[in-house]
Amino acid sequence: MSRVHIVGAGLAGLAAAVRLSAAGVPIVLYEAAPQAGGRCRSYRDPQLGRVLDNGNHLLLSANRAALAYLDEIGARETLASPTDGPLPFLDLASGEAWRLEPSDGPIAWWVFRPSRRIPGTRAADFLKAVKLRLAGPDATVAEAVGTAEPANARFWRPLTVAVLNAPPEKASARLLWTVLAETFLKGAAWCKPLIARDSLADSLVEPALRTLAARGTAPRHGWRLRGLVRERDRVAALDFGSERIALAAEERVILATPPTVVADVLPGLPLPEGSDPIVNAHVAVSTDARLPDGAGILGLVGGVAEWIFLRPGLASVTVSAAAQWVDRPAEELAARLWPDVARALDLPDAPQPPIRIVKERRATFSQTPANLCRRPDPDAAGLANLLLAGDYTATGLPATIEGAVTSGQTAARLALQRLGARAAC
């Protein structure tokens, strides 16, 4: 069977490689970085003496593509739920605490029960989700649901920032609706949070590499794509600078690189414009440190930190849509974030423990209404043997693990269809 060349060993590329290799398709996997995983990577930090993830990535039980990928690589059991019950929240400014608990079924009865609602909110604040469903392609979340408080600060803004890495004034209403329709509006069983029990690498990357190795494939690291050599309506060769890989007529290419690389090798192709950063902080804490109700996750409002993920001896903090923070010195960020962590864990403010700041300047493409129409289809390049994959493509999903994996699986399916059609000719 003809080979498929996959450029990029992030989650999109790995998902495509796993799916194609399972079908018996020979693949060649190229990666510019010294490790696979792309933006889902882990490393041992000498300052903290711990294995850290570059960011805190949360899956939900509704993420069918990501869970299917984990099943394919035999890693479903490496996920854990950080809470056995409703998702806990804390308002750092007022000290109020609550738990977000969707109804068991698709009818959101919980919004009509004051004891289940977020403090200070009304049922009407949540019924505005209907306006997301009706929003046009140019609408932002804020334009659809408004900015009434405290519902904005305690629900719509945290949800939007967590899902779309953008504030409601900027984020696409349609993208947020897609997530709500697959989670809250299906019921609690679809909203269960899942995190990597040990590390992102242990759950999402290393099992995939072992699976591929067992099928005779290993990534070629240090291969940075410089250009595509075209011949009429197809890619004739992959230009890696020091080496050029010629493609046979029946071979296919899946370009699973970041959109910045795609823009370089496919000039003129419409792509989403701009990106938004995320700041993460990893804090060494006592193994006795506990979050409310013994949960491994806590949502925060009223401070700088937005989410805390707690593993034994390590608290990891996320600040999404972090444009106002990403350029500040690590020392300043640590000093601002530690009081939030200390408050959440009921620890003294001083002394401040060691904190590692990790900045992802291009964490996601800017998920604005204007960029929705700029997300390319897998075959948007117009080259017969080239497909695109990545969370920036037109998956209909946000730029998340689920979006990346979906894009890789879609590209693999299309490649299989084209290879099958050619074999039948």
Burial 317-333 (b: 16+ CB within 10 A, else e): bbbbbbeebbeeeeeeb
Amino acid at position 82, single letter: P
Phi and psi at 54, nearest 5°, equal -65, -25
Contact 172, 13 (CB under 8 A): no
H-only helix segments in 135-227? 141-145, 151, 157-164, 173-182, 200, 206-214
With 0-12 CB in 10 A as exposed, 13-18 as middle and 19+ as buried, what is 143? middle
How does DSSP classify residue 118?
P
Provide the pLDDT for residue 293: 83
pLDDT of residue 1: 58
Identify the H or E element spanning 30: strand 27-31
- pTM higher than 0.85: yes
Q: What is the pLDDT of residue 425?
A: 30
pLDDT value for 276:
98
> Using an 8 Å Cβ cutoff, are 42 and 170 in contact?
no
What one-character DSSP code corresponds to residue 190? G
- How far apart are alpha carbons 337 and 317 in whole angstroms? 8
What contacts 75, CB < 8 A, 6 or more positions away? 202, 203, 204, 207, 208
Domain ranges of the chain: 4-36+219-273+368-424, 46-62+193-198+275-365, 103-190
The stretches in the chain having pLDDT less than 50 are 422-425
What superfamily would CATH give domain 4-36+219-273+368-424?
FAD/NAD(P)-binding domain (3.50.50.60)
Residue pLDDT, tens place only, 74-107: 999 999 999 987 899 999 999 999 999 999 998 8
Q: Beta partners for 345?
A: none
**CB atoms < 10 A from the CB of 248, how many?**
9
Residue with tokens 């993830």, as numbered in its chain? 53
DSSP designation for 268: T
What is the C-alpha separation between 404 and 210, in angstroms, rounded?
A: 20
- Structural tokens at position 159: 């949800």
Helix/strand/coil for 19: helix
Is CATH 3.40.640.10 correct for 46-62+193-198+275-365?
no
Residue 349: Cβ-neighbour burial (10 angstroms; 0-12, 13-18, 19+): exposed
H/E segment holding residue 358: strand 355-365
Q: Is 401 helix (H, G, I), strand (E, B) or coil?
A: helix
SS3 324: coil
Give pLDDT tens digits for 141-174.
999 999 999 999 999 999 999 999 999 999 999 9
Q: Strand (E) positions, 61-200?
A: 79-80, 87-91, 97-100, 193-196
CA terminus-to-terminus distance, the chain: 14
Are 269 and 380 within 8 A, CB to CB? yes
Helix, strand, or coil (residue 205): helix
